């Protein structure tokens, strides 16, 4: 594959699949991706689904950093100075609690592109909730009568064989 992103440096603070899939594509296109993992356990897919971990983290460098320690946060900020993109998938509010919010990172590197993944989005009644794709699907509104579609984080899907009930006639 062409190295169209050669010279681009990405700091990957993701866990599980959504963010790792995104940074995998950047790495496949030639970006240098530095994945930051928790010391000892790493990305939880490393032990839960090692085959998926390997598939979604190919072409990346890995670094164990304790983000709950001030030294770990300082190290991430030093790395961010030389990066073009930061991708994070922490639980809602965690990046701000750690001192790694978009605003704080912009102060470190004003040209840094900051991407954040969350299951339920940054606003709305469920924005504070943690989750992964399966959680989002389990929490969707049902039945989806207005459109016949339901949202997953990655796509729009039509459930085979399901139809909206027609309103009963008033005869």
User: Does residue 48 lie in a domain region?
Assistant: yes
First to last CA, the chain: 64
Q: Note the pLDDT of residue 15.
A: 87
137 falls within a domain? no
Q: Answer whether 89's CB lies under 8 Å from 13's CB.
A: yes
What 8-state DSSP symbol labels residue 17?
S
Banded model confidence at residue 68, pLDDT cuts 50, 70, 90: very high
**What is residue 108's DSSP assignment?**
H
DSSP, residue by residue, 48-100? H-HHHHHHHSTTEEEEE--TTSHHHHHHHHHHHHT-SEEEE-PPTTHHHHHT-
Give SS3 for 22.
Answer: helix
> What pLDDT is attached to residue 138?
61
Residue 129 has pLDDT above 80, yes or no: no
How many percent of the chain have pLDDT more than 70?
71
Write down the pLDDT at residue 145: 44
In a domain, 18, yes or no: yes
Provide the number of structural domains found in the chain: 1
* Residue 156 three-state SS: strand
Range of the domain at 89: 9-116
Residue 55 located in a structural domain: yes
CATH of the domain at 33: 3.40.50.10540
Mean of per-residue pLDDT scores for the chain? 81
**According to the model, what pLDDT value does residue 32 have?**
98
Written as six digits, the tokens of 165 are 């009930």
């Amino acid at each position: 594959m062409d190295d169209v992103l050669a010279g681009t440096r990405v700091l990957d603070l993701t866990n599980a699949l959504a963010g790792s899939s995104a940074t995998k594509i950047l790495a496949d296109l030639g970006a240098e991706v530095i994945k930051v993992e928790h010391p000892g356990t790493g990305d939880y897919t490393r032990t839960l689904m090692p085959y998926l971990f390997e598939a979604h983290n190919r072409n990346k460098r890995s670094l164990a950093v304790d983000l709950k320690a001030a030294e770990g946060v300082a190290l991430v900020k030093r790395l961010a100075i030389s990066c073009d993109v930061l991708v994070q998938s922490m639980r809602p509010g965690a990046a701000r609690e750690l001192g790694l919010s978009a605003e704080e990172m912009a102060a470190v590197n004003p040209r840094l592109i900051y991407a954040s993944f969350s299951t339920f989005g940054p606003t709305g009644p469920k924005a504070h909730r943690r989750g992964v794709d399966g959680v989002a699907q389990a929490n969707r509104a049902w039945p989806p009568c207005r459109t016949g579609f339901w949202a997953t984080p990655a796509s729009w899907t039509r459930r085979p064989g399901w139809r909206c009930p027609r309103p009963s006639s008033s005869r």
